[in-house]
Structure 1
Amino acid sequence: MYDLKSVTKQYRRGKETVDALAGVDLTIGDGDRLVIQGPTGGGKSTLLQMLGGLDRPTSGSVELDGTDLAKLSETKLTNVRSENIGFVFQSFNLIPTLTAQENVETALVPLKVKVKERRERAAAALESVGLAERLGHLPAELSGGQQQRVAIARALVKQPKVLLADEPTGNLDESMRDEIMDVLETMWKEYGLTFIMVTHDSAIAKKAPRVATIRKGRITVKENANS
């Protein structure tokens, strides 16, 4: 699925050059579940952005199914994201003026799915995350956990190969965190997804099959025997 070779990412901070990623090599197979951890500013979110085609490396290659995302045109990269990659963020990123169902439907618009099918698939996706009774609710009428469920449904409604999650439980309390993780783990198993998640939460990391730790742009990966 993913094959990263010698990936670097440099930023300018005033007169200084900062290495967000410093020669990362990483392989992630189909159906893998990987948690990414590390200190703030260590490169976690930068790596996730590379995997999602949201940013390009300064050097190195980021291959998804044999295609180097770094070499694609913006149009082709947008198509890859629209068709193959679902995103879930800490801040939900829901459109406040749209209902839960309409928010989920937005993921299908770039794929030119017809209106009737969009509605049906969005309703089914919301039902799969336990929100069948909330289709017509606006984000402000939903709890934080319910909003994150809408965001998960939006990510999965297009049936992606990859699900990328950046601190998806960061704004939730402990009980809601566990609920959301149950939903994500269930979706990972049922859909056969490749699931990659950035989190600062060690309790979540302990349950993951593989954990990648990034410090100062460098990565180490370990297997969790008890996951």
Structure 2
Amino acid sequence: MYKLTGVTKRYTRGKDTVEALRGIDLTIEDGDQLVIQGPTGGGKSTLLQMIGGLDRPSAGSVELDGVDLASISEAKLTRLRAEKIGIIFQSFNLIPTLTAQENVETALVPLGVKPAERRERAAEALRSVGLGERLTHAPSELSGGQQQRVAIARALVKKPKVLLADEPTGNLDEGTRDDIMGLLEGLWHEYGLTFIMVTHDSSIARRAPRLATIKAGQITLTEQGGRRPLSQQYVQQ
């Protein structure tokens, strides 16, 4: 479970101080799906970075299962991210010189997984997102939708508890967007992930059980209904 208390983030720009987040309080239960939406510059990506441990707040706490990501050492934070949090980015962030399978394997290296097991788990993760026939293809040989599927497989191969997505369909056409969202929602239901996503797309936001609208660093929560995931079997204990 996530518990954010009084999360504030300030940036200094020249002589000015900008408050990207202003005292955010938020609880996210295990297995929740939360979409974060808001205007450009409103703080939505900054909030996702706090939740993912990619940045630290200027004030407040970000607790994941009772561990404050804002106060633990960098080494412990890096390990926690590697074990518990999978992240998908709008720009895919694939390594161009590696194959699809090798890109997915990179998520397992920090966990000390042996090479033979890495290869097997990466291949299985790619099969689970429909790319079983593309293991040896480089990113340049894949479509945008296929590259995003590789990125999803890379996020999931380590069996995280939390899946974060920052505009995961922002670079995709409408048809591919719907395919990727169907895949993500199916994985959320099947594996019991805590799924948190930033999007500017209102048609996607309307599908989520919970919507967090962030504007000028402040948040409004809306309960929109919807089902919880079908299984918790995939989640790390």
Q: TM-score, normalised by structure 1?
A: 0.99
Deviation at 1:14, TM superposition (A): 1.2
Residue 225 (structure 1) shift: 3.5
Q: Deviations over 1:61-105 (max 9, x none)?
A: 000000100011000000000000000000000000000000000
Q: Deviations over 1:170-195 (max 9, x none)?
A: 00000000000011011111111000
Aligned to 1:199: 199
Q: Show structure 1 runs of 5+ residues with no match.
A: none
User: For residue 141 of structure 1, what is the aligned residue in structure 2?
Assistant: 141
Shift of 1:133: 0.2
Q: Which residue of 1 aligns with 2:26?
A: 26
After the TM superposition, which residues 175-190 of structure 1 pair with which residues of structure 2 at under 5 Å, given as runs? 175-190=175-190
Give deviations 1:181-215, integer Å, cap 9, x for gaps: 01101111111100000000000001000000000
SS in 2 for 1:186: helix
What is the CA–CA distance in structure 2 between the aligned matches of 1:14 and 1:217, rounded to whole Å? 20
For 2:24 and 2:119, how far apart are their aligned partners in 1? 41
The structure in which a higher percent of residues are helix is: 1
Give the match for residue 60 of structure 2: 60
Identity of aligned residues (%): 76
Deviations 1:36-81 (A, max 9, x none): 0000000000000000000000000000000100011000000000
Aligned counterparts of 2:152 and 2:226: Cα–Cα separation in 1? 26
Q: What is the match of residue 84 of structure 1?
A: 84
Distance across 1 between alignment mates of 2:37 and 2:203: 12
Give, as a single letter, the amino acid of the residue that structure 1 aligns with 2:195. Answer: F
Residue equivalent to 2:47: 47
Q: Does 1:112 align with 2:112?
A: yes
Give the structure 2 partner of residue 127 of structure 1: 127
* Counterpart Cα distance in 2 of 1:80 and 1:164: 14
List per-residue Cα deviations over 1:15-49 (Å, max 9, x = no partner): 11100000000000000000000000000000000
Matched with 2:170 is 170
CA distance in 2, matches of 1:149, 1:183: 9
* 2-structure distance, mates of 1:222, 1:209: 9
Residue 226 of structure 1: how far off its partner (Å):
6.2
Supply the AA of the counterpart residue of 2:59: S
Q: Distance in 2 between matches of 1:55 and 1:213?
A: 20
Counterpart Cα distance in 2 of 1:154 and 1:31? 20
Q: State the aligned residue count.
A: 227
**CA–CA distance in 1 between the matches of 2:66 and 2:191?**
22
Structure 2 unaligned spans of 5+: 228-237
Q: What residue in structure 2 maps to residue 16 of structure 1?
A: 16
Moved >6 Å (runs of 4+): none
2 CA distance for matches of 1:166 and 1:147? Answer: 15
Partner secondary structure for residue 83 of structure 1: helix
